[in-house]
Chain A
Amino acid sequence: MIDLLTPPFDPQKILENKRALKKQLLLQEGLLEKRVALLGGSTIGEIKSILELFLLSHGIKPIFFEGQYGLYYEELAFENPALAEFHPDVIYIHTTSRNIMEYPRPGMSAEEREALLQGTFSRWSEMWQSATTRYGCVVLQNNFDMLPYRIMGNMDAVHRNGRLRFLSDLNALIYDFQLKNPRFHVNDINYLSACYGLDQWHDAKNWYLFKYALTPGAIPVLCHSVAAIIKAVYGKNKKALALDLDNTLWGGVIGDEGAENIRLGMETPEGMAFLEFQQYIGAVSDTGVILGVCSKNEEENALSGLSHPTSALKREEFASFKANWEPKHLNLQAMAKELNIGLDSIVFADDNPAERQVVRGFLPQVETVPLSVPEEYIRALDRQAYFETVSLSEDDLNRNSAYRQNMCREASRALFKDYEDYLRSLKMICRVDRFHSGNLGRVTQLINKTNQFNLTTARLSEAEAALRAEDPSYIALCGALTDRFGDNGIVIVLGARVKGEEAEMELFLMSCRVFKRRLEDAMLDEMIRRLKQAGVKKLTGLYFPTGKNALVKDFYLEQGFTAVSKERFELDLRGDAAQKYDAMEIVRYDA
């Protein structure tokens, strides 16, 4: 990540360097193009150019559609041929409390006030509903920032006719809307403005002169946050946090001072800071972020720190543990391999700037957290939005236990001489299902973040996946894998478009967590079985190389397909083409 685009921001420097930054960011390879419609209830101008920088820094190249000034409602609520022709992937509506037309008056009756609240909310929600259904895309809007004044003073937050109370209630309705509409996302400017300082955020002069609803200096904070949501929607979140130990997770050098002398716990100010940082990391990992240790230490000393009685994090919470004297970039490479994730999915946190520098030098794709002093660690990590959550799937919640189960599987594998025996011993059950509303969240997540075992790397929004679920000429399958060590949840997705007697495999991807379980064979069998039932005689498999999916470049050849070009492989389904694979029981949920 470019330093200028890493919080805390220097808005002046970003502004001065925006052209150069853009040029530099456009040089990156493999940028993902997304069509972003920008609509606003106030001036958008600079928001567009700064948002572009942040999106580019996440590898997303936006193509913008800019709505007319202040006409967001008219543009979204009604038919809009220009927007329809643009085919937006994302619609971002930038508003603020400046766009609230009417507030309750102090003497309003409870009924009138409720009607005003519902009326105000439904004007917004109908617009979002209209936008999501009309364009089938992701819609993003903020909640509302608090006002720069309080008519009733403190009571304004309490009384139902207070304006601040009105905004709080409106915000609560907006949150509930998102919970029911996964394609809609809230940008929490109520929080951002509080962090920035409301007195600074509201800049009356820039509003009266230029109709900027927030001070121009806050634009980087806003755009960073909006870009964080968009990158998370498109699967560009970080997946793992690799942590140093000495002076990162506790105070002191454990090898020199001994486990009993490290600062961790309520006894010292420093100890409290480290303890809270550990607790914060524990909570982050509960959302599905994988933890690893990357420390220059004797393993024994490192372990003694994590078994310290006040340590909030324990050894078993780390899916990968590298405490040795190897250079850290080598350990991070080994960690990526072990966890089966890309280096660009890893965030590295180390208090030592020299170690960070080495890692940045050797592995520019690894993000390093700019840690300074322990009391600022939480903020330094939190503000980066590396792990922005746009949905919390069952899978996220179980991820870390899944990695622990994998350690058990590895241990048991050592007991078998023959790999097939080992697979049979796992007593695997594959639950096959079609895409439906109950699994689309996880399916979309998998589609968008799987890089290695992904034949086409086609990325789909939830809306696009939903279209395929409903399309009778499309066979969209997902598979969940259970074995005697636990449930992996949905880990594989296949999608084939049927045209008469031919079909083309648009989606074929699998989570790295279940590599080498022959799940891909079983699911391909299942797909072929269903294609045959649909009267398909020829299946075309596609492989588009991306730089991350070399693992599967020969996949279709290994499955008995014939190459017709570098990217296309064909299989004749008229014979008995399917393999017989019996190490796994298949349960069909949709049958």
Chain B
Amino acid sequence: MQPDTGLLEAGRRPTSTPAAEDLRLAATFFTAAAAGLAIVLAAGLFASKFYVSRGDAAGFMPLRTVHASFAAGWIVVGAQGFVLACLPAATGTPLWSRKLAFVQLGLWVAAGASLVATASLGLYTGREYLNFPTPISALVFTAGVLMAVNFFKTVRRAPVYVWMWGCGIVLFLWTWTEAHAWLLPFYRHHLIRDMTVQWKSYGAMAGSWNLMVYGLAFYCAERAGARAHRLWTWVFWLALANALLGWAHHTYHLPQAPAIRWIAFVVSMSEILLLIKALRDMTAPASPLFRSAGFWIAANLLLSLLISVPRLNGITHGTQVTVAHSMGTMIGINLLLLTGVAATLGGARVPRLALAIFHPSLAVFLLGLAWMGLARGTLQLQARWSWLLDFERTQIPRWAFVGAGIALAGAIVAIVLPVMRDLLGERREAPAIVGAPRIGFAGASAMGLILFGGSGMGLWYGGRVATTAPAGGEQLFQQNCLTCHGIDARGTPDKAPSLRKKSYAFEEVWLQVNRGEGNMPSFPHLTEADVLAIVEYLRGSAP
């Protein structure tokens, strides 16, 4: 075993500040990333309409594609830029090629522009998360290769965070390739193999950018005066092990090889150690953005530990609880850490009011999702899920989610803009920019308070609704008829008529249900007793 001189040295050597031209590189990448973030917010706000509207959901498809792709893309672009900008100061070697870095950014911009264009034209691959034509994938992959070339040509000596960046860069290329394995019939014609490899790649890909972002946070901590610690190396190893081997808690329920399930479970539980580290970090002095991220790291680790327990996973998998997990990590951890890096490099002061709105909005946003998810999970396990029943029962978390999302988007803009401005080096007089945002913050925080109160009431109300159990005819109606004929059989415009009348004859309904007619399909699995129960229910519920 050779002694790890790089690491020990990093502990002694004070890290130098990136040079002006490296900062310019960082600012250019971060500006492009922030433009991507603006697209994420816009697409997310428009898409959230479909959570609270009954209308036709066709418009959801391009918005979901753009939102999800840019949500990950802007983090990767920002992380790549900061890694390249910090690398010379961290290693004491100038960047191998600055030009190559700009070509790399150009490829990202081309990929982003093509994605918006193809999504609005309705061109998809139909894959979850990487739902864009394969040539765009090639642009992103090439950008990753240029990044790797520049990185490994520059690195001579390597403190632990440089190792994290290096592993992140390689893992990104690996998982990006794996995510396209479905192009080969060997994968595509075998659903379980396809889904196993798909989720293996997505899970580990998130680990690839986390390695880069966490590495940047360590770098900034060292610049702020913290001493590189042996513990950092352990955190790196644990994070790497989780990124490489912990992905299969995404796919517990696939009929996949049992060994994969067990490895995922054991590795996932090792995150408890990371949780302890995160809780320790929260008490350490650091910039407000990093300290805030510490809180969300702890919260998200706790959530991901809980949903990695197979029993709990059984109720949360296939629901918005997993969305709360992914959005919680992307917004609560990656966004805050990346912005924290930008603030450290650019010397920006983070608007505290914006942070004060950010936290409660994100909390309500995630709780709304989790509540929707638990409602859905419960209905799914009881085999009673239907869109309309779910929709009607979760009105409160849906509106809380959308409202908090609007406040959150405002807070994010208010956090990122000043940070970006300082990184770009245009320092203006404070009052001119502070006035208008203040009013916005006040409005948004009032909204946050209302939402908090609303969701508290919602919890009480939701609990009551959940315990009022339907039985017999009502339950059969909900399972079979409600999607079209609506809550309480009130009907749905242009789809199905209201069924609220007292005079139903059993034979009339029985024939209709068996034959189907016009728009209505037949329901041959319903027995006479079932139909009789439904008729009783309809008679009883008519006004």
User: Is A bound to B?
Assistant: no
